[in-house]
Structure 1
């Protein structure tokens, strides 16, 4: 026997089709209304102080003050967070003499992060009763005066001619940081025969007599020379002509010398 097919009349189907269409239309209406209200809320947010920059943070600075960097960037809390142009801010900051590189990040909801890399300081020139930094670019910060250097670079004392300061700066730029950190002071000690003569005082207690010319190359031998000396020996290391060590006179020899003079 064949199965009987259930026949649904058109009158029964129409209400179900209408209900399905109504639900679909309602879902579409809800979607459109939600999108519309979200758009309205977005517009209100962008036009309100809620979308302004709330905080500017700075990282990576050693010598520069955070307040100065923020001021230099031009970003204020009245600026719209979304309208801050990261490339423009970075370009503005890189015009600063002491800033080597910048990365600007946006941290939702309203924080701007400035990642700074400063130019290294290779020395400090002592003059006019203060100390002026020399950057790795060779530029002296004549507008920046400090009473006490931070100890991150050697102090240049007695340098009266800019010509020799510039040459010394170039040599310091080429000197490995591990060796540069050992230098406390560099005194310019010109003679009639050698206007390039310099006298260094080292942080490990030694002195060094050298010349500006090829200083960075000859100073490479310093750690090797010191490693061959007894730790109790202190004196002057000569690297201007050849390389040799001259120990300080002992107190006994000094007394004998004084008695002979008498």
Structure 2
């Protein structure tokens, strides 16, 4: 009898604890559901508010097409909802530009879109009246893309009125290492009766280069080593034809030659 009484007391002692445990469990469940509810409400409010609109557009890896042009072509200036962006549509629009080869569009929360482009290999710019047109490594002139000014991203190709020689020159420039190509400011086609391949180059470091279109890339490979042995204050002509040698503009004859070069380019 005493044993049974003890058991009854023990169960009764447990009942309040069980009730308290159940209450805590119910409260935790209520808090969990309320958190989910408010989280879903927050998402709905965010999607319907200006907070989800595209606020920032970043453009990467472009040289010839400006950030403004790419942004305008993308259609993102209308500030669409960042979750409603059609990436395939944007990429298709940007690829319509003949300079752009590949496009990658990424969503970066909370309201930024990053556009990374890969441009076609442009190795020169050719003057067309008051505008400037990019030239691909194939020699193709992109007459659908016009620049109002020459900004120096690629050499300016002057006097190439013959498509065949323009293509040859473009191919030779394409073979140059980027660090040498970046040194070239202007390339003039100066055909002569005995040699239609004559060219004259003005370099960004102040030197002038005389050579021919044939095997031009091979001849220019030695340009950095030649320049490194010259006094930077002594300007002149580096010949890269049959042999490589340097002529300074110090003598009267050389000064006359320099003046003749300048006159021939006017």
Note the C-alpha offset of 1:195. Answer: 2.0
The 2-side partners of 1:72 and 1:229 are apart by 48
Query: Match of 1:259?
Result: none
Which position in structure 2 is the counterpart of 1:133? 134
2:168 is paired with a residue whose SS is helix
Cα gap change, 1:245 to 1:52, in 2 (>3 Å): closer
Q: How does 1:113-262 map to 2 (within 5 A)?
A: 113-119=114-120, 121-136=122-137, 138-146=139-147, 148-229=149-230, 234-248=235-249, 250-251=251-252
Distance 1:141 1:228 in 2: 39
8 A Cα contact 1:55 1:77, kept in partner = no
Instruction: Output the CA distance in 1 between the equivalents of 2:255 and 2:71.
Output: 59
Conserved? CA contact 1:187–1:200, under 8 Å: yes
- Compare 245-254 and 157-166 and name the one that shifted more: 245-254
* Deviation digits for residues 45-82 of structure 1 (CA, Å, limit 9, x no counterpart): 32444322233233444443322211222324542212
- Secondary structure of 1:79 counterpart: coil
Partners of 1:245 and 1:12 lie apart in 2 by: 107
Q: Secondary structure at the match of 2:22?
A: helix
Counterpart-to-counterpart distance in 2, 1:129 and 1:35: 63
Question: Distance in 1 between the 2:181 and 2:172 partners?
Answer: 10
Tell me: CA distance 1:48–1:204, structure 2 relative to 1, closer, same or farther (3 Å): closer
Q: 1:15 to 1:249 in 2, by over 3 A?
A: closer
C-alpha contact 1:54 1:77 (8 A) present in aligned 2: no
Provide the residue aligned with 2:259 in structure 1. none
Counterparts of 1:15-94 in structure 2, within 5 Å, are 15-86=16-87, 89-90=90-91, 92-94=93-95
**Offset, 1:233:** 5.3
**Contact 1:132 1:146 (C-alpha < 8 Å) held by counterparts:** yes
**Alignment check: 8 A CA contact 1:121 1:152 kept:** no
Residues 67-76 or 237-246, more deviating: 237-246
Distance apart, 1:169 and its partner CA: 0.9
* TM-score of the two chains, using structure 1 as the length reference: 0.76
Kindly state the Cα deviation for residue 200 of structure 1 after the two structures are TM-superposed. Answer: 2.1
Q: CA deviation at 1:134?
A: 2.1
Going from structure 1 to structure 2, the CA distance change for 1:10 and 1:205 (only over 3 Å counts) comes to closer
Q: Which runs of 5+ in 2 are unaligned?
A: 1-5, 257-266
- Please give the alpha-carbon distance, in whole angstroms, between the structure 2 residues aligned to 1:54 and 1:249: 59
